[in-house]
Structure 1
Amino acid sequence: MLSRSMFFLALAATSTATFADTVWMKNGDRLTGTIRVFDGGKLVLQTEYGGTIPLDWKKVATLESDRELLIKQGDLDGERAKSLRRAEDGKVILANGEAPKEVELASIEQIMKPKPLVEDLTWTGNVDLALDYKRAEKDTDDYDVNFKTKARHGRWRHNASGEFNREFTDDEKTTDNWEAEYALDRFITDKFFWQGRGEYKRDKIEDLERQRTLGTGPGYQFWDDELGAFSLAGLVNRSDYQFANGAEENFYAISMKWDYNRYLVGKTVELFTSGEVGRPLDNTADYALDAEAGLRYKLTDWASLNMKAEKDQVSGARENLDETRYTVGFGVGW
């Protein structure tokens, strides 16, 4: 019985070691874990002893893995490797049966687990829910739901977001609005992209009932990896405002959009902010601002607590708008 137990323990240990990925660094260190992704100059290694570790790709000597991985050496040039084998410094062997191939690490742009349909698709997003019930001199019920998602394939990136807000005070509706936005980015280089976007906002309480915006312009991606992303885009927009009294305003504007998030404390805390500030070209309004900022604390790999502040302001128009909201809630991410 003892020898049989020792046999199975040895077998389990061998199996665990077999499926562990190994990275050799140029300074002689050897790290084991699971390769999550390589993108943006960072190889992300998930370890049992240190959590998620981003490694500088220029400091990696070679690596190996027994898992099937997608190796991209260009925007359209991707190859499924059944496994990776250690090679001399600065190289790695893509093992594919009888035809292994040795490639330079410097030629590799991305490493990721291949997807079932679109191999190089990366899809991230989150849905946040906040509910607030207050029973006092004035009863308040507040509901807030928002989502944000990105999907990238090759040179294309799809961005979608939306939000729904509703609030009752003593059974009287005091807030009732929703918004949705879709943007399509085409990367010209690894950093520069061109964006086209459409946005619609509907408010059943405020004087500014509807906002419709179409825009296009250049953008720059400072970084986008497992630890966060930061991008800026300058747009020329066509906006249509419709007010509760039937008045309308149509104008062209220039704006700056930003989107930033960063994981801290071993990816347990996420700092994020996004928004847009713009000014009409014909001076029909002073400026318009739509922004949010907040924190997420990860409870599990998919669940999180979040707190967020939102600002929606239009100044100098026929009817001004100035709303600030603070929410605390629960969310899921992927």
Structure 2
Amino acid sequence: MKRIIHSLRVAPAAVALASGLLAGSALAADEIILKNGSRILGTVTGVRDGVVTVDTEFAGTLKVQQDQVESLTSSEPIVLKLADGTVVEEPALRIEDETLLLASAEAPVATYPLTELAVSNPQPWELGYGYRWKGQVSMALELQRGNSDTDELDYSVESVWRSLQDRYTVRLDGENDEANDVKNAENWTALGKYDRFIEGPLYWGVNASAEHDKFADLDLRYYVGPYIGRQFHERPLLTLSAEVGGVYVNEDYIVAEDQDYMGMNWSVDATSNYISDESQLYLKHTGIWNLDQAEDVILNLTMGLAFPLLFNIEGAAEILLEYDSGLPPEVDKLDQTYRFRVGYSW
């Protein structure tokens, strides 16, 4: 009897089957017919993010948009996860007339619109077991000797653990620069976040951050507070989320007068593989508005393009804009950084 199991209660057998299929399978005569009449023969290796991936002997690996598929027949057992979270173990993947067919020896064939197919052979974390771990470590280093001796080091570390229920994020960014043995930049920012997913695209969370910037007269700024977020879109072509909440902010300056206040905190995070499947455009923006002094605002914006170099090593060209209207008059309120970094991602 075929089993249809909800993701949070999926049987261990489904996890084992999905994990085994992810490792690969023997070549089989799978067939895809597209809406334009084209016919593709090969081995369907996966469906994810609206894309069907198929290995062929004549053209290598092809990626076909799911909404362009008219029919599909595969020959290997498969685990399917639908858009509503239902998980199904099937002897094969069958699509006819843009309709997903779920076979059963003891009941009529169940049919679903093809758009309801979210992913095939989901990873264990997508079945409710454990976390997916992603992250990156990168740095930008410049050494110059001659008329001017310059040493510049920028570093960044980010790690994200994601499950069906929640997400943890830890990030550290820093910069240390010297020119002719005189330090002219020394700053770092650390961030920790916890997100708890609600039904649909909404989630709530708590974030805490600490920042030091010696040459902006900032000995230590830290803030902590809750927020509500929304995942507007989550596909490789466009991932977009936004958050808004309240924070308590404490600022200790080296020279200027210290202060603390209640503020409003917001953030926007977006990525896109619009240029190519391997590269990624990204944008990260955060802001804090001082509710005691309406003219006091902090804005940070990072924009860049990341692209693969070798294996999991990637390069990125990016722009950092940091604005703080509350800094002392003798300190520039806008700090601009242009850099190229190399890092390892997983």
Q: Which TM-score bucket, shorter chain as reference? A: 0.7 to 0.9
Local SS of the residue matching 1:17: coil
Give distance in 2, aligned partners of 1:171 and 1:83.
68
Local SS of the residue matching 2:27: helix
For 1:175, the equivalent position in structure 2 comes to: 185
Local SS of the residue matching 1:137: coil
Alpha carbons of structure 1 residues 71 and 290: separation in structure 2 relative to 1, 3 Å: same
Match of 1:84 among 84, 87, 92: 92
Deviations 1:78-111 (A, max 9, x none): 45x475332544124479x999985634544443
For 1:214-253, what aligned pairs fall within 5 Å after superposition?
214-245=224-255, 247-253=257-263
CA contact (8 A) 1:69 1:114 kept: no
1:120 is displaced (CA, Å) by 7.4
For 1:324, the equivalent position in structure 2 comes to: 336
CA contact (8 A) 1:24 1:63 kept: no
CA contact (8 A) 2:78 2:93 kept: no
TM-score normalised by length of structure 2? 0.75
Matched, 1:309 2:319: yes
Local SS of the residue matching 2:276: coil
CA contact (8 A) 1:274 1:291 kept: yes
CA contact (8 A) 1:193 1:220 kept: yes
State the identity %. 21
Give distance in 1, aligned partners of 2:111 and 2:216.
60
For 2:51, the equivalent position in structure 1 comes to: 43
Report the more deviating stretch, 250-259 or 65-74: 65-74
Local SS of the residue matching 2:146: coil
Alpha carbons of structure 1 residues 306 and 52: separation in structure 2 relative to 1, 3 Å: farther
TM-score normalised by length of structure 1? 0.78
Matched, 1:53 2:63: yes
Give distance in 2, aligned partners of 1:212 and 1:37.
43
Matched, 1:111 2:124: no
CA-atom RMSD, angstroms?
3.5
For 2:203, the equivalent position in structure 1 comes to: 193
For 1:6, the equivalent position in structure 2 comes to: none
CA contact (8 A) 2:203 2:229 kept: yes
Give distance in 2, aligned partners of 1:62 and 1:148.
40
CA contact (8 A) 1:44 1:226 kept: no
Alpha carbons of structure 1 residues 274 and 248: separation in structure 2 relative to 1, 3 Å: same
Give distance in 2, aligned partners of 1:52 and 1:277.
42
CA contact (8 A) 1:62 1:92 kept: no
Deviations 1:25-78 (A, max 9, x none): 455544456545524xx2352657486736245856445363754625545x54
1:159 is displaced (CA, Å) by 2.6
1:257 is displaced (CA, Å) by 0.8
Give distance in 2, aligned partners of 1:88 and 1:174.
65
For 1:333, the equivalent position in structure 2 comes to: 345
Alpha carbons of structure 1 residues 225 and 271: separation in structure 2 relative to 1, 3 Å: same
> Unpaired segments of 5 or more residues in structure 1?
1-14
Give distance in 2, aligned partners of 1:273 and 1:229.
10
Report the more deviating stretch, 202-211 or 44-53: 44-53
For 1:204-223, what aligned pairs fall within 5 Å after superposition?
204-223=214-233
Give distance in 2, aligned partners of 1:43 and 1:277.
35
> Unpaired segments of 5 or more residues in structure 2?
1-24
Report the AA paired with residue 211 of structure 1: R
CA contact (8 A) 2:90 2:102 kept: no
For 1:255-334, what aligned pairs fall within 5 Å after superposition?
255-283=265-293, 286-317=296-327, 321-334=333-346
Alpha carbons of structure 1 residues 98 and 182: separation in structure 2 relative to 1, 3 Å: farther
Give distance in 1, aligned partners of 2:167 and 2:207.
12
Give distance in 2, aligned partners of 1:206 and 1:113.
48
Report the AA paired with residue 294 of structure 1: G
For 1:12, the equivalent position in structure 2 comes to: none
Local SS of the residue matching 1:193: strand
CA contact (8 A) 1:21 1:35 kept: no
For 1:10, the equivalent position in structure 2 comes to: none
For 1:129-148, what aligned pairs fall within 5 Å after superposition?
129-148=139-158
